[in-house]
Amino acid sequence: LKEEAVSKIEEASNVKEIQDIRVAYLGKKGPITEILRGMGKLPAEERPKMGQLGNEIRAIISDKLDEKMEQLEKAAVAEKLKKETIDVTMPGRPVQKGNHHPLTRVVEEIEDLFIGMGFSIAEGPEVETDYYNFEALNLPKNHPARDMQDSFYITEDILLRTHTSPMQARTMEKHEGKGPVKIIVPGRVYRRDTDDATHSHQFTQIEGLMVGENVRMSDLKGVLQTFAKEMFGQEREIRLRPSFFPFTEPSVEMDISCFNCGGEGCSVCKGTGWIEILGGGMVHPHVLEMSGFDSKKYTGFAFGMGPERIAMLKYGIEDIRNFYTNDVRFLKQFNRVN
Ligand code: PHE
């Protein structure tokens, strides 16, 4: 009995088995207990011998069990320690770091520049009324210049704004005829266009508006020149060309001098030496009056630019669709651009 128990204990490979063996041999229903309990039936002279033997065997098995238990517990701890060993010399796993979208960066950079010149930021609705998007900007219904901006209409009188210019009228109305007004308006705009490398049916604009007493064309030029040099480098020249917008008179388009222009073969400016970057002009007196400003007392300038185009020029991006497809291979390239 003793040998059987001892060999079983030695074979045991886990704590549970040891517990089972203890119950089986030493428990209330185990053979040792039975032997000791059955002693009353033995002749008197054999009782002490049998009792001693039973107790001895029980002690041996019990000791053996304790010993094995200790061994197993130690082995378990050793095993656990081995598993949990940390190799402190192993290189760390790189953490994937996110970043601001290149367009967000450019918009924020432009915002900061204009804030530095005393402008504040305003935002307006992307779903706009026909009145603010067109009529308040001197573009009555059936005006041919509406064709310049193919629109997404929702109802006859509601559309997705085609530019940020409606905020000119909204902001002036809020000022109730009192200047000065000095805002820029970043936001998304929508036009019915076929998407290609340089067109998108949805893009971003930043509108600028300054209204006050004695605001002149030279102020527009000064503000835009400061902007262009800060954005593209102090060596950049600007020029204003006459243009047409129904809501400004006179209207201009602004060009900046070409980057590293190689003359004839230049891919950016096609050899002209100039790159168009925005439209603007002096706010049309009708527009001032319609929004409650006295055009005898007040004058103003306005401009609108496309941050996508500015980002494309600044970073040499060739396809506008890169901004919207969220390809991480494209976005990652801006991780270290400041
Ligand atoms: N809203 C015009 C456009 O989208 C740009 C512009 C803004 C022109 C303000 C003049 C003044 O083309």
* pLDDT tens-place string over residues 74-119: 888 988 888 888 888 888 888 877 888 999 999 999 999 999 999 9
pLDDT for 26 equals 82
Looking at the CA of residue 148, tell me the nearest atom of ligand 1. 12
- Going by the annotation, the residues of the binding site for Mg(2+) are 249
pLDDT for 21 equals 84
Looking at the CA of residue 251, tell me the nearest atom of ligand 1. 10
What would the two tokens of residue 136 be? 């308040």
Write the residue with the smallest CA distance to atom 4 of ligand 1: 163
Q: Is the pLDDT of residue 337 over 70?
A: no
Q: Is the pLDDT of residue 215 over 90?
A: yes
Q: Is the pLDDT of residue 125 over 80?
A: yes
Helix axes 217-232, 102-116, angle to 10 degrees: 130
Write the residue with the smallest CA distance to atom 9 of ligand 1: 303
Extract long-range pairs of 233-239: CB within 8 Å, 24+ residues apart: 239/274
Q: Is the pLDDT of residue 9 over 90?
A: no
pLDDT for 335 equals 74
d(CA 176, CA 293): 7
- Which residues' Cβ are closer than 6 Å to ligand 1? 163, 165, 207, 245, 248, 279-281, 302-304
Over residues 281-301, mean pLDDT: 98
Helix or strand (DSSP H, E) at 303: strand 299-305
pLDDT for 224 equals 96
Q: What is the mean pLDDT of the chain?
A: 90
Categorize the per-residue pLDDT at 178 as very low, low, confident or very high, splitting at 50, 70 and 90. Answer: very high
Categorize the per-residue pLDDT at 249 as very low, low, confident or very high, splitting at 50, 70 and 90. Answer: very high
Nearest to 188 by CA among 123, 279, 129: 123
Looking at the CA of residue 163, tell me the nearest atom of ligand 1. 4
Residue bearing the bigger pLDDT, 61 or 265: 61
The highest-confidence range among 46-50, 68-72, 286-290, by mean pLDDT, is: 286-290
d(CA 256, CA 258): 6
pTM, whole model, 2 decimals? Answer: 0.73
Predicted-assembly ipTM surpassing the 0.95 threshold? yes
Looking at the CA of residue 209, tell me the nearest atom of ligand 1. 9
Write the residue with the smallest CA distance to atom 2 of ligand 1: 304
Over residues 52-71, mean pLDDT: 85
Over residues 119-127, mean pLDDT: 97
Write the residue with the smallest CA distance to atom 7 of ligand 1: 304
Distance in Å, CA 165 to ligand 1 centroid: 6
Looking at the CA of residue 205, tell me the nearest atom of ligand 1. 4
Write the residue with the smallest CA distance to atom 5 of ligand 1: 304
Distance in Å, CA 109 to ligand 1 centroid: 20
Mutation test residue for ligand 1: of 165, 210, 276, the one with most atoms within 8 Å of CB: 165
Q: Is the pLDDT of residue 336 over 70?
A: no
Residue bearing the bigger pLDDT, 141 or 218: 218
Distance in Å, CA 33 to ligand 1 centroid: 102
Distance in Å, CA 285 to ligand 1 centroid: 16
Q: Would you put residue 39 in left (φ > 0), alpha (ψ -120 to 50) or beta?
A: alpha
